Each structure stands twice: as structure tokens, then as C-alpha cells.
């Protein structure tokens, strides 16, 4: 074969395609143009295409905010007696839930997740202060990182409660929680818990 008949090596195209695939969550969802509405929690909601860091964030106390919010949701969903340690199964549930969210809303499910986390994050909660032998509730502002933690907890609890020992699949339950929280539906468990926390805090001001 002559020099002018040589063709580009196929490895170059594969490499380019691999880079494009690597930039998408689960190889499908683009995470490069996600919008944030809450500036206080934006730095604690990390959007990356990585969904399995193998616990590399566990060595430092606050490094959890550097991993993907999707993986944090997956990890939170595993914190039940039935699902402990079943990460591959939980990842499949989240992936299927994202497909359902996209079918129902025609939006990027990662964007729906971010909006759901922002809407379900409580701004106030109560602590107990002791004066002598009396315990008095006191309203306090919630730190941004704890707001994200609480939001993920509410979403996971809502999905687990709606699917455990019921005919509702886990994928359907999680998708409903994400869509409801993203739309700020007070009937959704996550938003309801956020409203309840803020109502109790307002009474303790």
C-alpha cells in the first residue's frame, strides 16, 4: 500500500468516542450543562459521570461532597437492612429510575435529581438546649452540606417506604420521589419531611 492510500488508525476514533462516553453518566446522560437554583448548596452538589468511587472519599470527614451526587444517592439507598452492600443492584435501580424520569418529564434526569435535592433540603431545624434540668427546643439554620445530606436521606426514605412490601417497584418509587420533589409536591415524602422540619423550627424560634 502506498503512503497516499494509508487510512487513519481506527484507535483514534475509538478514543474520541470513549472520551464522549466517559463524559456521560451511565453512558447516556450529559452532566455538563446542569443548572443550579440554590447557590448555598451548589458547591456541595457535585455532578460528575463517575458513579462508583470505591470509597476513596471515606478517608476525610467532609470529602463526601467531592463525589457524584448520583453515587451519594446510590449509597444512601443502600443504607437499609435489605440492600446493604448491594451496590450493583442499587445502581441498576437508579439507572432504571432515571429512564422512567426521562420518559415522564422529557428532561435530563440528572437535572431533575439536582432540583429535587434543592427542593427537599431543609433550611431550619431544631436542637435541644438544656437550662438547668429543662430541655428547650431552639431553631437553628442548617449548614449547606447538612441540607444536602438531609435531602438525600428524605428521598431515599421515601423511595424505600413506597416500595418495601408493596406492589410498587423500587425504580417506580424512586422516580416518583424525584419527580415529586423536583416539582415541589408537598404530597411527596421528601418535601413533606422538609416542610415538617421547618414548621417545627418556626414554632421554636
pLDDT at 47: 86
User: How many secondary structure helices (H) and strands (E) does the chain include?
Assistant: 8, 4
pLDDT at 14: 38
For the chain, the maximum distance between any two Cα atoms, rounded to a whole number of angstroms, is 93
Residues 135 and 128: beta-carbon distance below 8 Å: yes
Instruction: Please give the Cα distance from 28 to 18 (Å, whole number).
Output: 12
pLDDT at 26: 83
> What is the phi/psi pair of residue 140, to 5°?
-135, 155
DSSP 111-127: HHHHHHHHHT--SEEEE
Where residue 164 falls (left for φ over 0; alpha for ψ -120 to 50; beta otherwise) is: beta
Average pLDDT over the chain, rounded to whole?
A: 83
The cell numbers describing 170, all together, are 423500587
Report the predicted TM-score, pTM, of the whole model to 2 decimal places: 0.81
pLDDT at 175: 94
pLDDT at 123: 93
The cell numbers describing 175, all together, are 422516580
Instruction: Please give the Cα distance from 71 to 64 (Å, whole number).
Output: 10
pLDDT at 21: 41
pLDDT at 60: 67
Q: Extract the residue ranges of the chain whose pLDDT is less than 50.
A: 3, 7-22
Residues 6+ apart with CB under 8 A from 198: 122, 123, 124, 125
Closest CA to 164 of 174, 154, 153, 178: 174
pLDDT at 166: 84
As a dihedral over the C-alpha atoms of residue 115, residue 117, residue 120, residue 126, rounded to 10 degrees, the angle is: -140
pLDDT at 59: 59
Domains of the chain (ranges, CATH numbers): 10-203 (1.10.455.10)
pLDDT at 87: 83
Where residue 17 falls (left for φ over 0; alpha for ψ -120 to 50; beta otherwise) is: alpha
pLDDT at 17: 41
pLDDT at 58: 63
Instruction: Please give the Cα distance from 141 to 124 (Å, whole number).
Output: 5
Amino acid at each position: 500500500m502506498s503512503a497516499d492510500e494509508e487510512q487513519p488508525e481506527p484507535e483514534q476514533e475509538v478514543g474520541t468516542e470513549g472520551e464522549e462516553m466517559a463524559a456521560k453518566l451511565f453512558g447516556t446522560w450529559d452532566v455538563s450543562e446542569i443548572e443550579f437554583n440554590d447557590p448555598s448548596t451548589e458547591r456541595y452538589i457535585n455532578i460528575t459521570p463517575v458513579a462508583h468511587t470505591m470509597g476513596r472519599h471515606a478517608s476525610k470527614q467532609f470529602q463526601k461532597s467531592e463525589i457524584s451526587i448520583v453515587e451519594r444517592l446510590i449509597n444512601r439507598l443502600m443504607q437499609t437492612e435489605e440492600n446493604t452492600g448491594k451496590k450493583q443492584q442499587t445502581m441498576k435501580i437508579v439507572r432504571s429510575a432515571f429512564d422512567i424520569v426521562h420518559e415522564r418529564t422529557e428532561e435530563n434526569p440528572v437535572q431533575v435529581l439536582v432540583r429535587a435535592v434543592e427542593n427537599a433540603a431543609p433550611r431550619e431545624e431544631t436542637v435541644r438546649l438544656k437550662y438547668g434540668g429543662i430541655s428547650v427546643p431552639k431553631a437553628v439554620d442548617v449548614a449547606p452540606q447538612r441540607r444536602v445530606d438531609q435531602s438525600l436521606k428524605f428521598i431515599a426514605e421515601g423511595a424505600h417506604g413506597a416500595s418495601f412490601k408493596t406492589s410498587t417497584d423500587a425504580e417506580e418509587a424512586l422516580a416518583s420521589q424525584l419527580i415529586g420533589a423536583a416539582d415541589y409536591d408537598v404530597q411527596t415524602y421528601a418535601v413533606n419531611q422538609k416542610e415538617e422540619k421547618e414548621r417545627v423550627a418556626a414554632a421554636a424560634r
